[in-house]
Every structure is written in C-alpha cells, then in structure tokens.
Structure 1
Amino acid sequence: MERAQKLHDSGYNCAQAVVCAYCDAFGLDEQTAFKMAEGFGLGMGLKEVCGALTGAFMLAGQKNSGGCERAGETKGKTYKMTKALAAAFQEKNGTYLCRELKGIADGNVRRSCAGCIEDACQLVEEFLCK
C-alpha cells in the first residue's frame, strides 16, 4: 500500500500505482504494466470505474487467467472476482465511479485518490494475495 501511494505521488495514475505496486508479487514486468494501465486512470479517462479499482481488476486477471492456451476457460472465475472486488469497494465507499467518488456532479467528495488507492490495495491483499 505504501509503495502504491509513493508511485501515485511520483506521477503514476491510480490504476498504474495499484498494478505496479504488485508487479513483483504477480510476476509482472513493471514497464509493461505501467504502459497497459495508463489508459485506466481517471476512471478510464472518462470518470467511470475508479482507476485504483480497475488496477485491482487487472491483478485479478493476472492471478486467475489461464492465458491464451486456456482461452475462455478461466474468464468466468475472473469475472466473479472482479464483481466481488467491485461490490466490496462500493460497500466501503458507496460507489465505484470516479465522478461520484470525486463529487464532480454534486460537490460531495466521497473518497480521495489516495483513499481509493488504499482501499484497492486492501482489497488486493484480502482477495488476491492468499
């Protein structure tokens, strides 16, 4: 979690911070992970699903997927995991949408980016690092 916050403070977006903080644990090349996660910050650039949570989704895929050689066999398990991660994040924050977390429409900021990164990392630890 501390590494994710430091990465975010150094310019990584929320998705990059979460994914890259766990590269070693999930066997990922950080340069590739950084590049792939870039379009997922700021709620995919659209203020949709929180980037930090999306980073956790990417890690769920890395953990659960059987890869190309098992195409289609493991996606159901991964979808179930992303659904559980989203539900847990929403339970903590009332929403998983960036625009609602940031209070863009109503001015009610529900969670800071640092808080969202913290929550996503806690969920990665709870759901994926077992």
Structure 2
Amino acid sequence: MTERQQRAQELHGKGYNCAQSVACAYCDLVGLDEQTAYKMAEGFGLGMGVMDMCGALSGAFMLAGVKGSAGIEAPGTTKAQTYQQTREMANAFKEKNGTYLCCELKGVADGNVRRSCPGCIEDACALVEKMLGL
C-alpha cells in the first residue's frame, strides 16, 4: 500500500466518507486545500448518498476533474478528456470488482458483499495513482 493509500485509509478511520478519504488524500497534489476537498466530497459518500456510484470512485473522479480541467478560463475545452478518463477509471474499477455501484458492492439486494469500503478506497486510490499519475 502506498503512502497516499494509507493516508486515505487513515482518513476513513477518522470518519471521512469514502469520497472524502480519496479526494483529501491527494488534494494537495492537485492544488486543492483539504477543507475544500472535504466539503466538496461530503455529498458523494454512501454512493452519492443513495448507494449509487461508489463514493471512493467519485472521489477519484473529482481529482480527475481538478487535475485535468482548464477551468473557467477555457470553458468546455477539457471536459471530453476528463469524461474519457473517468470512463476508463469506472471501467477498470468495474472490471476488478464486478460493479461500481455502492449497493451492489455492499450486497444490499443479494447479500453478496463484493468489496468493503476500505477495499474500494484502496482500489480508487490505485486508479488515481495509475491513471492520473498522482
């Protein structure tokens, strides 16, 4: 486990949700302060609050946007690249875990837990490091 992956796990252990854990573990590498990253990611835990898209993966997507966006200086010019990157991350996560939906990862409907939250955080962090070079 890398230092950043360990940091994300420690943050989760302190009560950060999955999205916050991933976003905050790397926020300094994309020029974002931890307080802002924490607040920005709060609504994305528990699968966006409704057990939909995995919160850890959502945190990785946030980092992709912050890292790759040209910002308001050049609206719309980088979103296609960011969308491609997030699709690749989602596909890789799904390939490893069978799904990227929180309710399926947690086995809500069928009782088959596919991946724990710490495992999802580890996987999302690995994607951040591999695909975003952080």
TM over 0.5: yes
Question: Paired residue for 2:105, among 97, 101, 114?
Answer: 101
Is 1:12 the counterpart of 2:22 in the alignment? Answer: no
Matched residue, 1:80? 84
State the shift of 1:129 in Å. Answer: 1.4
Percent identity, aligned pairs only, is: 70
TM-score (norm 1): 0.99
Extract unaligned runs of 5+ from structure 2.
none
Partner of 2:93: 89
Is 2:54 the counterpart of 1:50? yes
Query: Residue 108 of structure 1: SS of its match in structure 2?
Result: coil
Deviations 1:4-37 (A, max 9, x none): 0000000000000000000111111110110010
Which whole-Å CA distance do the structure 2 matches of 1:64 and 1:50 have between them?
Answer: 21
Q: How many residues align?
A: 130
**AA in 1 matched with 2:45:** G
- Which consecutive aligned stretches of 4+ in structure 1 deviate over 6 angstroms post-superposition? none
Residue equivalent to 1:120: 124
Gaps of 5+ in 1: none
1:50-75 deviations in Å (ceiling 9; x for gaps): 00000000000011100001101100
- Matched residue of 1:22: which SS? helix
